[in-house]
Each structure stands twice: as C-alpha cells, then as structure tokens.
C-alpha cells in the first residue's frame, strides 16, 4: 500500500510505519475507557463473592473490541465527511496519513463488531439474554456516534452518551453477568468513572474546538467556548473526587479507596496544560493526562476493592 508523506505536525506525534499504523487505528489511549469499567464492575462482584474468570475475560475482550470498532467508524466517517486531512492532529491518521483504504477501516470495524456479537452470545448463555439487547444498543450507539444522518459526536450529547454507556452501563453489565443481579449501590459507584470517561471526550473536543466549529459541529466545548469548557472539565473532575470521598464516608466504598486520590496529580496536570496551551499539538499532553486520570483512578478503585476483600477495614 502507498504511504503518504507525514505532515510536519504528524512528526510531532512520533508516528511510525508498520505495526504502529494499525495500533494507532485502535486509538489505544481510549481503550482504558472500556477496560476500567469492566475491571471495576467485576471487582464489585468479587466483593460479593461472585467471580468467573472466563466471563471476565470474554466481557473485557468484547468491550475493548466495541470501543476499537467505534474508533474506526469515527475515523472512517470523519474522512468521508471531509473533516480529517493530513494536517489533522490527534486522530489515528491511518487513512489520511498512512494510506490505508477507507473501506478496509470500515470492514475491520464491522469485523470487530461481529466478534463482539459472538462473544456476547457466550455471555448471554452464561447470564441472561437481556444482555443481548443492551449489547446491541451499545454497538448501535457506537456506530451512530459518527455514523448516521445526525452523528452523536456532532452534538452536545457526546460526553453524556460516552460516559453513561462506557461507564455506568459497562460497569453494570460486568457486575450483573457475575452475580445475576444489579444493585443501586453499583450504579451509584459507577458515577465518578462515568464522569471521568465523559471528560476524556470533553478534553478531545476542547483540543479540536476550532476545527470542529469550522465543520459545523455543536459540541459542548463549542457552545460554551474554550475557557468555560476547561472550567467545566475541572469541575467535573472535582465532582468525581468529591463523590468518591462521600462514598467512602457512607461506606459504599472501602477506606482503601482513598488511594484513588493519588490520581489527582495527573488531573491537575491536565487542567494546567490546557490553560497554558492553545495549539492542537500543545494540548495533546493535556488530553492524554485526562485519559490517564481515568485509568489511574479506576485501577486504584478496583485495587482498593481487592484489598478490602483480603483485609476488611471500616471507618
């Protein structure tokens, strides 16, 4: 296949040929948004003394494949609509910079969806066929995020859908398939992670504000402006940590969950970097820091649940 000459800004991204092209197509920095909810939901089930390793692995793979497929549809339809070009920063760039045919990206996304469906059948057999309904809805929204006549990504509701589905819904499913029940406590505990996942998209939209505005998108960042969007990002992150503290005091989370506050440093770095940079390249580290905040926070919450299993402590 032919490879386009990397743009000047693409070189700043340290993009490499070969396997790295396909790895970027998955947009790996976003995949923790699927791993963390499955991990936390499963650890909540372990806390209730319910755990099947194979179910956890299958659910994890299915969630990651759906997320990766959503990213591919995003890249394909942004290219089709003319939103991406060789100078676009922050995208996978496999179509506009690496010369991979758009149809290949689209077909690979459908393949990932097909594998997810197969894995979903096993999950349903082991739990409930209602999971098929919810899983189908998740994949449909994943497609409609940038596909369809009115892509969700072009509206102010992208953060809401991504946070709700990838956060609360995935945590709920991961818990349910292990326990065959769902509690309000699980839903409540999912809220901070749902907020942080929504923040990943908000950070992306802050970085892409100017280009998105030129192409007719109506994201929250565009509607409220750059400075207010950064302020909104800051307060959403603060709310996530406040809720975590409240949950610990209420006993919804174990005392060990205070370790999740170690992720605050990364969150603070993200906000500071956004305030100090206005170029797309300059804001990339800020967006990455928001994604890492969710990863570190979620991983530490999951670990805190494990610690409580082995050494129970109460306030």
**Tens of pLDDT along the chain (315 residues)?**
344 444 444 444 555 656 567 777 777 777 888 899 999 999 999 999 999 999 999 999 999 998 888 888 888 887 777 666 555 555 556 777 667 888 988 899 999 999 999 999 999 999 999 999 998 888 888 888 877 788 888 899 999 999 998 899 999 999 999 999 999 999 999 999 999 999 999 999 999 898 888 878 899 999 999 999 999 999 999 999 999 999 999 999 999 999 999 999 999 999 999 999 988 888 989 999 999 999 999 999 999 999 998 888 766
DSSP 4: P
Cβ-based burial of 250 (10 A; exposed 0-12, middle 13-18, buried ≥19): exposed
The DSSP code sequence of 125-191 is HHS-THHHHHHHHHHHHHHHTTSSSS-GGGSTTHHHHHHIIIIIIHHHHHHHHHHS---HHHHHHHH
> What is the C-alpha separation between 60 and 48, in angstroms, rounded?
19
Contact predicate 37/174, CB 8 Å: yes
Crossing angle between the packed helical segments 53-80 and 32-47, to the nearest 10 degrees:
160
Contact predicate 5/96, CB 8 Å: no
> What is the C-alpha separation between 188 and 24, in angstroms, rounded?
34
Let me know how many helices (H) and strands (E) the chain has, helices first: 14, 0
Cα angle 252, 255, 260; round to 5: 90
> What is the C-alpha separation between 168 and 33, in angstroms, rounded?
11
This prediction's pTM:
0.87
Q: Around Cβ 55, how many Cβ atoms within 10 Å? A: 19
Contact predicate 9/271, CB 8 Å: no
> What's the half-sphere exposure (Cβ side, CA atoms, 13 Å) at 119?
21
Report the candidate in 34, 13, 33, 32 with the shortest Cα–Cα distance to residue 24: 13
Alpha-carbon dihedral sign for residues 9, 13, 19, 22 = negative
Go through the domains of the chain in sequence order and give each one's CATH number: 16-310 (1.10.600)
> What is the C-alpha separation between 83 and 212, in angstroms, rounded?
8
């Amino acid at each position: 296949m032919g490879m386009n000459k990397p743009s000047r800004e693409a070189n700043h991204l340290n993009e490499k040929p070969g396997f790295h092209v396909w790895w970027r197509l998955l947009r790996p920095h976003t995949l923790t948004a699927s791993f963390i909810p499955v991990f936390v939901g499963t650890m909540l089930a372990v806390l209730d003394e319910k755990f099947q390793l194979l179910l956890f692995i299958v659910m994890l793979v299915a969630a990651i494949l759906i997320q990766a497929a959503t990213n591919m549809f995003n890249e394909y339809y942004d290219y089709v609509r003319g939103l991406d070009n060789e100078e676009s920063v922050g995208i996978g760039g496999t179509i506009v910079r690496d010369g991979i045919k758009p149809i290949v990206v689209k077909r690979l996304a459908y393949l990932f969806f097909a594998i997810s469906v197969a894995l979903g059948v096993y999950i349903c057999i082991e739990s409930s066929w209602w999971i098929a309904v919810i899983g189908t809805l998740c994949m449909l929204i994943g497609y409609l995020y940038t596909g369809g006549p009115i892509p969700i990504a072009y509206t102010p509701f992208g953060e809401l859908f991504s946070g709700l589905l990838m956060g609360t819904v995935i945590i709920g499913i991961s818990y349910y398939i292990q326990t065959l029940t769902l509690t309000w406590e699980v839903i409540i505990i999912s809220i901070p992670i749902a907020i942080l996942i929504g923040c990943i998209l908000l950070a992306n939209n802050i970085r892409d504000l100017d280009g998105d505005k030129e192409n007719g998108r109506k994201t929250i960042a565009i509607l409220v402006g750059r400075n207010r969007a950064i302020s909104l990002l800051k307060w959403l992150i603060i709310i996530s940590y406040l809720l975590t503290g409240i949950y610990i005091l209420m006993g919804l989370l174990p005392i060990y969950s205070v370790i999740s506050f170690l992720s605050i440093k990364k969150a603070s770095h993200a906000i500071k970097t956004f305030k100090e940079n206005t170029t797309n390249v300059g804001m990339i580290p800020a967006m990455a820091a928001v994604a890492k905040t969710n990863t570190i926070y979620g991983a530490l919450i999951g670990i805190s649940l494990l610690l409580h299993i082995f050494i129970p402590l109460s306030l």
